[in-house]
Amino acid sequence: MILAGAILILIGVLLFVFGIRQQDLPEPEPVSPTLYLEQRKARIYEGLRDLQFEYRLGKLSDEDYQHTKLELQRELAGVMAEVDGLLPKEKAVEPRTPVPDPSNQCPHCGAHFEQAMKFCGECGKQMTEAAS
């Protein structure tokens, strides 16, 4: 009877604690919506590390290890997908067409060159104004 009472009290305390904790949990900051996910990601990584550690110590069977690892990896993939969905999509960069520099244009044949040149590569005439 005493044991049953103790268990009931324990359950009551646990419910109380979890009930309060759920309410107290802060909403993820709107400023950084991915912060919460980053923390979850970090926790999963930690879990994976612990898992590997325990496996190496021989505390886990192959099956348990693989199973838990797979579960954690699946959770991680879910978090990653959520982060991806929250991050602003990169704007498609419009290919900028280089504006032709008029000083790089041959005044004789009209050919454009990427660099200013003394003599036109097309017609061979002098491109730069003979300013003397």
For residue 25, give the H/E element and its range.
none
Question: Residue 76 or 111: which CB sits closer to Zn ion?
Answer: 111
Question: Residue 19 or 107: which CB sits closer to Zn ion?
Answer: 107
Question: Residue 64 or 101: which CB sits closer to Zn ion?
Answer: 101
Minimum CB–partner distance for residue 120 and Zn ion (Å): 3
Minimum CB–partner distance for residue 132 and Zn ion (Å): 21
CA 58 remoteness from chain centre: 34
CA dihedral 108, 114, 118, 121 (to 10 degrees): -60
Minimum CB–partner distance for residue 99 and Zn ion (Å): 20
Q: Which residues bind Zn ion (CB under 5 A)?
A: 106, 108-109, 111, 120, 122-123
- 24, 69, 107, 111, 123 from 129: Cα distances, Å: 77, 73, 9, 15, 15
Question: Residue 79 or 120: which CB sits closer to Zn ion?
Answer: 120
Minimum CB–partner distance for residue 128 and Zn ion (Å): 12
Structure tokens at 8: 């009931």
Decide if 65 contacts 73 (C-beta within 8 A).
Answer: no
